[in-house]
Chains A and B, each alone.
Chain A
């Protein structure tokens, strides 16, 4: 029991430093200049969707990552927030409600909070399986309601509105995609910062404590149920904000926005990015939205690739994509990250070949099976060939096999370099 007295370097109380603000400033600047680089309508739509998904995923991680609550029905709070916002938009249009559009997401948040307050009052009694099951049940219930209660949810067509009918703010009527982008980006920064700060408050820390050890937390004076309930409400609030932004962007909400499929994808997105990191859900949302919007332009089986990516993440990188980056920090701090450059370059060609050739095999098979009768011509990677022929498939198969062997051959070498780069040579 030697108490090594090292310097109390990170004394907790310090003034707001530039260092801690820097990531937020960079993010804000980036969000500000992005439209000048990607200014097209479709790019703006993708970025808006990305921003909404980021807020939604961050709110989901308040449950899963920080509170240890696995929810299968988080879309309910975003969806309900969104539906209420569309109705508010319609009240602005028809009943002369004086509500400036930029404030609408806040009301979405309040509605999300309200429903989280009600549903959380019984769903947060227990964590684990009980919570997951209740969330699933409630999710299914609300999704079913959305088809039955036509007056509110609009049945299968959903409810649509018009965002431009409200009072102008600073001369903006939000008819253009660009104006909506800046509105969404502003809310993104506000929400993300608020969620980050929440994780640094007493309730945020105790929510981590309850996640790790609910029994211990109870003997510190905290009711595990109340702690979970509060986190649940906060999470519902931010999900509602995402819902409000969705309503503004797309001007329509349907059953799809609160069904189980949407709840499932937000779980997938958050896990893909990494639940253990604050930025994890952000990474997940960006990757997912890109795959969804860009990859789907090129292939009909993009969901298959997404599924494989998800499976690989769960099996091999449970810390998510962010975790994949984070494991390099050790060698970086040891100053040995340079040792990894060569091995990575060596692995690059076989790994890329492996990925592209497996995709090629899948695409050729998919085309051969599902293309219209007589349509045998397919193009892939800029090549055009007959998908029914044996040759293309054999070549792709051979490349797949070859690159696999090469990876296997290089793997031990790579592992050695990895160990070397992560080995603290000085002290041992």
Chain B
């Protein structure tokens, strides 16, 4: 059996007395599209922030490709091939779309902390950035300031920045939050396209998106995973139905 892309062992996190993540064991295989769902306040974002190094676990460990990363800083985890987006749009608003993407490329294309290269004169950098713009259909917005894009475009750009570095694990935090139907369809298509052959972990409220996209779904309620299974099995799970009062899941079945 190959090593899991992400493995959580006995993971818990407390803020003061509040234990937000109870005790979680979870294994996400390489190339899997994994969705994490759960009601508001279930700890989905905390779990995300633990895996990506923004918080450090109170107990337990996090393994990336079999190596413990729970004591590393976000940038160190990123350098090991994990990239994420945020619940609140997180781009560089004062830079152009092109520059946003280019910033996402610098580290992995080995420009790192260089002060002896000029960014405008690196054909490889420019070519790769153009290719990613093409991939997220934003070539036409190339020279616009990211801050003036529409909301959906900003989200798309963020996905572009997230995948630019070539990470093999992509974590997206509510990529379709606050979007119209057509925008959601567009973003889901985009996600499917850009995460091909990569491990995807996505937190999402829109059940349509979740059941459409995921190979496996984990349901997080009050800091505990009550089910982690294929979409069909999760839908049939009585505990999940209870947690959701049937409402959200029924909508999907319609």
On A, residues with C-beta under 8 Å from B are 1-6, 8, 10-13, 197-198, 200-206, 208-209, 212-213, 215-224, 226-227, 230, 234
Name which residue of chain A comes closest to B112, CB basis.
A202
- Cross-chain contact B114 with A10 (CB below 8 angstroms): no
- Cross-chain contact B142 with A8 (CB below 8 angstroms): yes
In the complex, what's the smallest C-beta–C-beta distance from B202 to chain A, in angstroms? 16
What 0/1 readout, one digit per residue, does chain B (179-204) give for beta carbons within 8 Å of chain A? 00011001000000000000000000
B140 contact from A6, A10, A218, A227, Cβ within 8 A: A6
A213 contact from B83, B91, B165, Cβ within 8 A: B91
Please give, as numbers and ranges, the residues of chain A lying within 8 Å of B117 by CB-CB distance.
Answer: 201-202
Given contacts A13-B121, A205-B119, 13 further A-B contacts (CB under 8 A): A1-B186, A3-B137, A4-B140, A11-B126, A13-B120, A201-B115, A202-B112, A203-B115, A209-B103, A215-B54, A220-B106, A222-B75, A223-B75
In the complex, what's the smallest C-beta–C-beta distance from B6 to chain A, in angstroms? 16
16 pairs, CB–CB < 8 Å, chain A vs chain B: A3-B141, A4-B141, A12-B121, A202-B106, A203-B115, A204-B119, A205-B106, A212-B92, A213-B91, A215-B74, A216-B90, A216-B92, A216-B161, A218-B75, A219-B78, A220-B83
Name which residue of chain B comes closest to A224, CB basis.
B75
Please give, as numbers and ranges, the residues of chain B lying within 8 Å of A223 by CB-CB distance.
Answer: 73, 75
In the complex, what's the smallest C-beta–C-beta distance from B233 to chain A, in angstroms? 33
B126 contact from A5, A12, A219, Cβ within 8 A: A12
The stretch of B14-22, B34-42, B94-102 in contact with A is: B94-102
A328 to B7, CA, bound (A): 57
Whether B52 is near chain A, meaning CB under 8 Å from some CB there, is yes
On B, residues with C-beta under 8 Å from A are 52, 54, 73-75, 78-79, 83-84, 86, 90-95, 98-99, 102-104, 106-108, 111-123, 126, 130, 137-143, 152-153, 156, 161-162, 165, 182-183, 186
- Cross-chain contact B103 with A206 (CB below 8 angstroms): yes
Interface centre among B74, B79, B95 (most CB of A within 10 A): B74
A4 to B133, CA, bound (A): 12
| CB-CB under 8 A for A1 and B119, given A11-B126, A202-B111, A205-B102 | no
Name which residue of chain A comes closest to B137, CB basis.
A3
Please give, as numbers and ranges, the residues of chain B lying within 8 Å of A205 by CB-CB distance.
Answer: 99, 102-103, 106, 119
- Cross-chain contact B140 with A3 (CB below 8 angstroms): yes
- Cross-chain contact A213 with B115 (CB below 8 angstroms): no
- Cross-chain contact A213 with B114 (CB below 8 angstroms): no
A220 contact from B104, B113, B141, Cβ within 8 A: B104
- Cross-chain contact B152 with A219 (CB below 8 angstroms): no
Please give, as numbers and ranges, the residues of chain B lying within 8 Å of A206 by CB-CB distance.
Answer: 103, 106, 113
- Cross-chain contact B94 with A13 (CB below 8 angstroms): no
| CB-CB under 8 A for A202 and B92, given A8-B139, A215-B86, A220-B161 | no
A226 to B143, CA, bound (A): 29
Please give, as numbers and ranges, the residues of chain B lying within 8 Å of A12 by CB-CB distance.
Answer: 98, 120-121, 126
- Cross-chain contact A219 with B113 (CB below 8 angstroms): no
- Cross-chain contact A212 with B95 (CB below 8 angstroms): yes
Please give, as numbers and ranges, the residues of chain A lying within 8 Å of B92 by CB-CB distance.
Answer: 208-209, 212-213, 216
- Cross-chain contact B74 with A218 (CB below 8 angstroms): yes
A8 to B107, CA, bound (A): 25
| CB-CB under 8 A for A198 and B78, given A8-B130, A13-B120, A209-B103 | no
- Cross-chain contact B186 with A216 (CB below 8 angstroms): no
In the complex, what's the smallest C-beta–C-beta distance from A231 to chain B, in angstroms? 10
Please give, as numbers and ranges, the residues of chain B lying within 8 Å of A197 by CB-CB distance.
Answer: 118
- Cross-chain contact A3 with B120 (CB below 8 angstroms): no
